Amino acid sequence: MIKKEKKDKPIILITNDDGITAPGIRFLIKLMRTIGEVVVVAPDKPQSAMGHAITIATPLRLQKINIDGKHDEWSCSGTPVDCVKLAVNKILHGKPDLLVSGVNHGSNSSINVIYSGTMSAAVEGAIEDIPSIGFSLLDYAYDADFVSSEKHILEIAKHVLKSGLPKGTCLNVNIPKLEGKQKIKGVKVCRQARAYWDDDYDVRKDPHHKNYYWLTGVFINDDKGKDTDEWALKNKYISIVPIQSDFTAHHAIPLIKNLEQC
């Protein structure tokens, strides 16, 4: 388990993929400042669906900014993973006690975790042996209600600060969208649902009468298990899925051993 020595104020690194001015990260910054010393390094523009991309062909730029008039933060020209790498190597010159990414505007449950810049930042933290959490709210609206999840986000962050996480593991935390007088029922530790996107592309014409394409599609969840993140979210629970960077299909190794004869 990764555990940190006790300090008066833990250092908490915050990033996201919606950009440093997005309401989700502003909410998370305010919340984390109640439990630790916050360092913000986040993209200067939206970087959604960037996955684990890093910048290698162009220079990266960091700009010190002050959004709330009280605290310095760092705006980065790169991806969420770039933000984590730069924070550790050039700003903190070491590892924080906790990395939190988000709160993302929109779902990162099930297969969405593969594409997510929010979760890739958390995975990068886990690779660096930093206890890391990605938070997402199933609401794309600019004025989404983050406050309803405040208590749970704080408790999850405090728990990870105190107890650590298994080495190489981070948490994918998704929060249901509430309607009317609905309330969050609780928290479920889950597996990732076996679901996928049935992709399509909307074909349109530009002013020069040439085709361009806009990704669309339908999310398909055929997984009927009641132990999945999709089930938890549908039933108004917060889902927590432990994830890792190891993509090895361990169950498949004995099934393809005969390939060693090729």
Residue 69: the pLDDT is: 87
Residue 229 and residue 247: Cα distance in Å, rounded? 19
Q: What is the mean pLDDT of residues 113-118?
A: 95
Helix ranges (H only) for 143-236 are 150-163, 229-234
Residue 7: the pLDDT is: 57
pLDDT digits (tens, 9 = 90+) for 5-37: 455 799 999 999 999 999 999 999 999 999 999
**1 pLDDT above the threshold of 60:** no
Q: What is the mean pLDDT of residues 104-130?
A: 96
**4 pLDDT above the threshold of 60:** no
pLDDT digits (tens, 9 = 90+) for 193-217: 999 999 999 999 999 999 999 999 9
**In which residue are the tokens 């991806």 written?**
79
Residue 2: the pLDDT is: 44
Q: What is the mean pLDDT of residues 145-157?
A: 95
Within 8 A by CB and 6+ apart from 68, the residues are none
Within 8 A by CB and 6+ apart from 243, the residues are 113, 119, 122, 123, 169, 170, 171, 172, 192
Q: Are 1 and 164 in contact (CB under 8 A)?
A: yes
Residue 103 and residue 171: Cα distance in Å, rounded? 13
Q: What is the mean pLDDT of residues 177-190?
A: 94
**Side by side, which strands form the sheet with 98-105?**
62-65, 73-76, 37-43, 11-15, 98-105, 132-137, 169-175, 237-244, 186-189
Query: Which of the 8 DSSP states describes residue 98?
Result: E
